[in-house]
Amino acid sequence: MANRRQGQRGAMLIAFSILLIVVLGFIGLALDVGQVIGRKTELQNLADNAALAAAAELVGTPEGLLIAVEKAKGSAADRSAWRRRMQGAILSDASIRFASAPDAPASGWHAAGAVPDAATALFVRVDTQATTPSLGRVATAFLGAWSPALRTLDTGARAMAGRTSLRLTPLAVCALSGSVASPRTNAALLPAVELLEYGFRRGVAYNLLKLNPNGPAAEHFVLNPLGQPGVLGPPQQVGDASVLPFVCSGTVQYPRIGSAQVHVHRPFPAALWTAFNARFNLHAGSGCHVVTAPPDTNIRAYPNTAPSWWMTNAPDAPSALSTGNPLLSVADPESNATPPAVGSYGPLWSFSRAARYSNPKPAGGYLPFATSDWPKLYPASPAAPAAKSGYPATAPYLTLGFQTAPASNTGVAQRRLLHIALLACPVPPGSDVLARVRGIGRFFMTAPASNGVLSAEFDGLVDEGTLLGPAELLQ
């Protein structure tokens, strides 16, 4: 009986020893795997932060690429990013690559100095496993006892970031000429001449829904906010429901246009006109939400007949701003047998002044005219409009006396600025076609849109690279 009990105790001791070894093995495995998972998490945070830091510098220039590399390395070297906030990491150039699309093949990712076209390099990838020496090598405490090959494990992380949107309104209109910059000669102004940019005059309001340099019928288009440049998208992408949120926000969902053609749909639907009015804090009936389409910080409409009006005349209704064949602003003809009525110009210089033409363009930008030049710039009958002596040193929009803050909702500065694609016209016939973008114009909404009227003052051309949306972490 005693021998039997001793045998049971021995068997239990052997079983306990085996179980203890198994338990210790699992504990060791958990500790080693935990180390690897912890290191991978740290590396993922490091890669995410580095990619976002680099993507913010991608503006389509070679200088931006070099700064992006510096920002990525600087982010990784920050002690908050790695090794339990005790030390930074060193990223090598091989771990930072750039491409023109987030889904580019392996051959499409290049080092900063080898990018074929900096203007298209709007996405960055940070791969910690490409860094030498390795950042992901973990010395194991227990697995090495099972196999020498497991004495160290290597892990890593990859992150991609870039810009996927442009601050471009999904409305397109015709460029009024094919010249990026040209002189508008006015005998009364000589030797000075006025600047035209694709035929538009700075400081003059246009009805963007009533323009056509090639005929008397208005031409305006939906710029597909979802399709990729160079591709004719499906009809759903230019339907009212798809386009509405982008009119509200003033964005399109692609990172650049470049030299590619874009999908446009004619005409721009009347159902979406009121969506522009969220910028004036008029959200009811606009289809826009105040969070994604906040008002401007200044919602005061121009024209305005209040005592503080900066002009000697009360302008006509904005509908008078476009007329004739071709269909242009009344301010466009250089000479008129019958000058327009004094109020026909609409509000003048509410955001931007007329500019003097110069070739080449001055390094500091085109020089503005003075308010004393108004009678020469804007002849009218029976008398030209004139600026009052109280015309402010800054644009009326920026001057307190000409501002109205939105009630109940927080405004965002310069939301009334619309960035509009200027197309090479005439555009091919058809409801959905590809069209070439000559440039991007900046227009200031002078009043809420209504009844086929979108009155906006031209404020010059804007470079596409300055309209890039925020950097986003993509994976």
Tens digit of each residue's pLDDT (9 = 90 or more) over 277-325: 999 999 999 999 999 999 999 999 987 666 678 888 766 666 567 888 8
Contacts of 234 (CB under 8 A, 6+ apart): none
Contact 276, 445 (CB under 8 A): yes
pTM (2 d.p.): 0.85
Contact 100, 120 (CB under 8 A): yes
Quote the pLDDT of residue 90: 86
Instruction: Check whether 36 has a pLDDT greater than 80.
Output: no
State percent of the chain over pLDDT 70: 86
Q: What confidence tier does 475 reach under pLDDT thresholds 50, 70, 90? A: confident
Q: What confidence tier does 371 reach under pLDDT thresholds 50, 70, 90? A: very high
How far apart, in Å, are the Cα atoms of 109 and each of 50, 97, 99?
A: 17, 6, 5
Contact 77, 50 (CB under 8 A): no
Quote the pLDDT of residue 132: 82
pLDDT, greater one: 103 or 219: 219
Quote the pLDDT of residue 137: 79
DSSP 431: S
Helix 62-77 and helix 2-55, axial crossing angle in degrees, nearest 10: 150
Quote the pLDDT of residue 268: 97
DSSP H helices in 109-180: 143-146
pLDDT, greater one: 41 or 198: 198
Instruction: Check whether 111 has a pLDDT greater than 60.
Output: yes
pLDDT, greater one: 81 or 188: 188
Instruction: Check whether 183 has a pLDDT greater than 90.
Output: yes
Q: Which residue has the tokens 């982008």?
A: 246
Contact 274, 449 (CB under 8 A): yes
Angle formed at CA 261 by CA 260 and CA 266, multiple of 5 degrees: 160
Structure token pair of residue 330: 């009344």
Instruction: Check whether 271 has a pLDDT greater than 70.
Output: yes
How far apart, in Å, are the Cα atoms of 208 and each of 76, 145, 443, 449?
A: 48, 76, 9, 10
Q: What confidence tier does 234 reach under pLDDT thresholds 50, 70, 90? A: very high
Structure token pair of residue 452: 């086929």
Quote the pLDDT of residue 150: 66
